[in-house]
A = this chain, B = another copy of it.
Amino acid sequence: MENFSSKLLQAAVEEFSKLPGIGRKTSLRLVLHLLRQEKEDVSFFANAIERLRKEVVYCKTCHNISDKEICDICSSPRRDKSLICVVEDLRDVIAIENTGQYHGLYHVLGGIISPMDGIGPDDLQIESLIKRINNSSVQEIILALSTTMEGDTTNFYIYRKLEDKKIKISAIARGIAIGDELEYADEVTLGRSIMNRTPYQLNIPNPR
């Protein structure tokens, strides 16, 4: 334990070092940085953290993080309401939104089935997904979970729950990343990308 000359400094350093991946030295560096900033800026920072935890809610429809009961994506008239993309968590929503290629809705499971971590189907938003599909005009769901054993298990579980419904179930394409060289690709990915080959398309520049 370091010898700090200030209890306030010590308290702040201890709070920062509780964050994942932030050690004591980094924590001290961050705290000293804040000490050099304007009082208002530091208040703003503290306030953003406090409000985040107190005011943020989960969208009642898709369980994504939101400022309102129904999130901006679910309530937008410009989104295709016949399409739901099933993802593990918020970060996946951000990643897909950043592509600018998807205009449907989402369903955030809040994790994947992982018996090793004690996470079963009932801990995830799977039941609410089934209800949502029953009560709406959804025509297709896209499974976009990790390609791990846990992801595959979750995909299969959802598939079994939905197979007798009149709904298209697809999964995002897996294959060699654009720009990657074949010789460095792992065998499983390369094998799947051959099995799931697609009709050849001329690479026409994006018309937008």
| CB-based contact A32/B71 at 8 Å | no
Please measure, in the bound complex, the distance between the C-alpha atom of A176 and the C-alpha atom of B54, giving whole angstroms: 53
CB-CB contacts of A23-38 with B at 8 A, as 1s and 0s? 0001011111111010
Binds B, one of A90-98, A126-134, A138-146, A200-208: A90-98
Please measure, in the bound complex, the distance between the C-alpha atom of A59 and the C-alpha atom of B5, giving whole angstroms: 10
Residues of B within 8 A of A2 (CB): 94, 97-98
List the number of copies, as a whole number.
2
CB-CB contacts of A1-20 with B at 8 A, as 1s and 0s? 01111111101101100111
| CB-based contact B98/A32 at 8 Å | no
Residue A148, interface by CB 8 Å: no
Binds B, one of A45-53, A114-122, A163-171: A45-53
Residue A21, interface by CB 8 Å: yes
Q: Who on chain B is nearest to A20 by CB?
A: B33
Q: Is the interface of A mostly helix, strand, loop or mixed?
A: helix
Please report the total number of A residues contacting B with Cβ < 8 Å.
58
**Taking A15-B49, A46-B46, A72-B5 as contacts, is the C-beta distance between A28 and B94 under 8 angstroms?**
yes
Residue A64, interface by CB 8 Å: yes
Residue A83, interface by CB 8 Å: no
Residue A101, interface by CB 8 Å: no
Q: Can you show 15 pairs from A to B with CB atoms below 8 A apart?
A: A2-B98, A5-B66, A6-B65, A8-B48, A9-B52, A9-B65, A11-B52, A12-B51, A15-B44, A15-B49, A28-B94, A32-B90, A35-B56, A46-B47, A46-B50
Instruction: State the 9 A-B residue pairs at the shortest beta-carbon distance, nearest first.
Output: A3-B97, A42-B53, A46-B50, A12-B52, A46-B46, A46-B49, A15-B48, A15-B45, A11-B48
